[in-house]
Amino acid sequence: MADRITLQVTRYRPEEDLEPARQNYEIPFRKEWAVLDGLNHIKDHIDGTLSYRWSCRMGICGSCGMIVNGEPQLSCAAFLADYAPGPVRIEPLHNFPVIRDLVIEIGDFLHKLPQVKPWLIRPEPSQEPGEHLQTPAALDEYHQFSMCINCMLCYSACPVVGLEEDFLGPAAIALAQRYNLDSRDQGAAERFDALSSPAGVWDCTFVGECTKACPKGVDPAGAIQRYKLTAALESLKAFVLPRRAR
């Protein structure tokens, strides 16, 4: 096997480039290296101006999402050996503005996320002392949705995010469901308007790529389809029994 591999990295330097362009870097091929290790090698030894985000190197922080050979991936979890003999094409995540090279701007997501109130809501403080106990079955209801690391791979994979500017997006809705399905939470009604709006679950056309892209096994597409059923039933209840609605 060759001892070198080529990384084709998309570069965008706003102070000098009008459009992003591809730049080739030849790096040592180590079978234990992830794409992120390759980028770090470039940064440390070849071109210090290359910009990208990373932190934990173990698939927890969600910082190093990139498009690797056309697929949204965590670059710390995409191994060069899987792309040998190369070249490996590395681009910034799709559906986001690019600040520089592989660094995307996620302000839009950070603006949308609080709209679904992704935290435990309990209007009345509990009268009983101690923790809010939960059975394993109750934990199982929402546990997979709590694994989301906000890596934005699902937003990059989803064509609706690219087409519909206002769409809340897969991760925000999955995180809303994480709390809606939590037995300790009482805030489902407060999340209803944002989730059941046209920019909420109804914008989703169920392409299903968000679930395939998720590196943590979360199923945002499933969360959205389940909430469509909830929203439809709630709307029906409000129509049939307007006084008892919510």
Smallest distance, other proteins to C-beta of residue 19, A:
7
Backbone angles phi, psi at 152, to 5 degrees: 75, 10
Q: How far is CA 69 from the centre of its chain?
A: 18
Q: Which token pair is 177?
A: 């469901």
DSSP bridge partners of 218: none
Q: Which residue number, 28 or 159, has a Cβ lying nearer to other proteins? A: 159
Neighbours of 119 (CB within 10 A): 10
Q: Tell which one of 162, 166, 193, 233 touches other proteins (CB under 8 A).
A: 162
**Are the CB atoms for 158 and 72 separated by under 8 Å?**
no
Determine if 228 is a binding residue for other proteins (CB under 8 A): yes
Smallest distance, other proteins to C-beta of residue 86, A:
21
Beta strands at 88-91 and 71-74: parallel, antiparallel or unpaired: unpaired
Determine if 231 is a binding residue for other proteins (CB under 8 A): no
> Rounded CA gap, 240 and 236, in Å?
6
Determine if 167 is a binding residue for other proteins (CB under 8 A): no
Closest CA to 102 of 56, 148, 60, 49: 49
Residue 42 carries which side chain, given as an amino acid letter? I
Q: Which of 28-36, 45-53, 81-89, 203-211 is the region at the interface with other proteins (rule: CB under 8 A)?
A: 203-211
Q: Tell which one of 43, 53, 94, 184 touches other proteins (CB under 8 A).
A: 94
Q: Tell which one of 26, 140, 166, 193 touches other proteins (CB under 8 A).
A: 140
Determine if 159 is a binding residue for other proteins (CB under 8 A): yes
Q: How many residues bind other proteins (CB under 8 A)?
A: 31
Q: Which residue number, 27 or 176, has a Cβ lying nearer to other proteins? A: 176
User: Residue 202: helix, strand or coil by DSSP?
Assistant: helix
Alpha helical stretches, state H, the chain: 35-41, 107-112, 136-142, 153-157, 159-163, 170-180, 188-196, 209-213, 220-240
Q: Tell which one of 84, 110, 229, 236 touches other proteins (CB under 8 A).
A: 229
Smallest distance, other proteins to C-beta of residue 159, A:
6
Determine if 55 is a binding residue for other proteins (CB under 8 A): no
Smallest distance, other proteins to C-beta of residue 69, A:
12
Q: Tell which one of 3, 15, 128, 131 touches other proteins (CB under 8 A).
A: 15
Determine if 207 is a binding residue for other proteins (CB under 8 A): yes
> Rounded CA gap, 47 and 101, in Å?
12
Determine if 53 is a binding residue for other proteins (CB under 8 A): no
Closest CA to 21 of 93, 106, 92, 73: 92
Binding site for other proteins (CB under 8 A): 12, 14-15, 19-20, 70, 94-95, 97-100, 105, 137, 140, 159, 162-163, 205-209, 212, 219, 221-222, 225-226, 228-229
